A and B are shown apart, each in its own frame.
Chain A
Amino acid sequence: MAAFGFLDDVMRMNKRQLYYQLLNFGMIVSSALMIWKGLMVVTGSESPIVVVLSGSMEPAFYRGDLLLLTNHKEEPIRVGEIVVFKIEGRDIPIVHRVLKVHEKEDGSVKFLTKGDNNAVDDRGLYARGQLWLEKKDVVGRAKGFLPYAGIVTILMNDYPKFKYAMLAFLGIFVLTHRE
């Protein structure tokens, strides 16, 4: 019985409190979603916050660091900027630095990237036969940096069981505990 001690709170609730608890849970989920979508509008990026998943930008960024991105259309792409881009056939976006830019008069731009910690440029990572990236490949440009803040994401990626355990724990905690 002691193992289900956490249910005591739920047992003592009446119907009204139970509904309130469920609504509260719904509020948390929907406000998180609203903040995310709101950030998408403000920054213009489809993914305004990314976690660094590889060591290819060390020692600037380590695994688990958090980057804030913007992707405004009128912002030009210049060398030295850190861009996050997607490659056809790869699910995970890559965070690398721009090494070369060739921009035409009409604003169309071709650029090449390289990871600070890699010995060669990214042509080997691009899709077969692809030599340059274009604006449509860009998910965002790194504008802000917060160390370690995404470490939980790294743990969840590396240990999927940890992810489910954590989600279950948080869900139960929110549903069963009274304010």
Chain B
Amino acid sequence: MNSFTSRLNSLFAFTLSVMAALTFGCFLSTVLNDHLRPVQLSVGKVSVKNVPDYSADRERSDLGFITFDLFTDLSPLYNWNVKMLFLYLTAEYKTKDHELNQVVLWDKIVKRGENTILDFRKTNTKYYFWDYGNGLKGNENVTLTLRWNVIPNAGTLPNVRGVGSEVIRFPDQYTAGRF
């Protein structure tokens, strides 16, 4: 009963159960958080072009261009069970063919300890705003929201929609030329 291996074994088992209990406690301590924060969004330049989408089916599709301003203070969201937030700016709209379209235009990873007050001005999107078809021209109800996916140290992975949104109104004329 008192051999070296049996002591090692019980030490290992005890360590493992203490760590499991601590991890579970860490999960329980933050499971009820709603992770909500206000977000100020506004849109600057808006234009739309009709060009072949060589990244997909080479059909002529609507390609939107926007610049945006974003201000939000996410500091209160960070606690001991938040490893990082994955922020993503989503455009959501309806077209003739599709009841619901969601396109991520921009994203950012903010780890705990990094600057959590975000202030972006006249920022270009990170990804192309391709529609599946020709549903952007003249579309007056494209909702822009900032959402985040909370990545904990251990626990659930909630996707939260920031409080506040902005509506993009696309012009009913295509922009000619390169830009």
Q: What residues make up the interface of A, taking CB atoms closer than 8 Å to B?
A: 59-61, 78-82, 97, 99-105, 110, 116, 123, 131, 142-147
Residue of A nearest to B147 (CB): A80
Interface residue B157 (Cβ < 8 Å from any Cβ of A): yes
Q: Which of B102, B154, B159 has the most CB of A within 10 A?
A: B102
Q: Are B104 and A99 in contact (CB under 8 A)?
A: yes
Interface residue B15 (Cβ < 8 Å from any Cβ of A): no
Q: Are B86 and A97 in contact (CB under 8 A)?
A: yes
Interface residue B64 (Cβ < 8 Å from any Cβ of A): no
Q: Per DSSP, are chain B's interface residues mostly helix, strand or loop, or mixed?
A: strand
* Contact among B147, B151, B156 with A143 in the assembled complex (CB-CB below 8 Å): B156
* Contact among B23, B56, B149, B151 with A146 in the assembled complex (CB-CB below 8 Å): B23
- Chain A positions within 8 Å of B147 at CB level: 79-80
Q: Are B157 and A145 in contact (CB under 8 A)?
A: yes
Residue of B nearest to A65 (CB): B154
How many residue pairs between the two chains, A and B, have CB atoms under 8 Å in the bound complex? 80
Interface residue B45 (Cβ < 8 Å from any Cβ of A): no
Q: Are B90 and A80 in contact (CB under 8 A)?
A: yes
- Inter-chain CA distance A102–B132, complex, in Å, is 7
Residue of A nearest to B107 (CB): A116
**Residue interface mask B49-74, A partner, CB < 8 A = 1:** 00000011100000000000000000
Which among B32-40, B92-100, B166-174 touches the partner chain? Answer: B92-100
- Chain A positions within 8 Å of B154 at CB level: 145-147
- Chain B positions within 8 Å of A147 at CB level: 153-154
Closest Cβ–Cβ distance, residue A139 to chain B (whole Å): 16
Q: Are A145 and B149 in contact (CB under 8 A)?
A: no
Q: Are A131 and B156 in contact (CB under 8 A)?
A: no
**Residue interface mask B95-126, A partner, CB < 8 A = 1:** 00111111110000101000000000000000
Q: Are B88 and A103 in contact (CB under 8 A)?
A: no
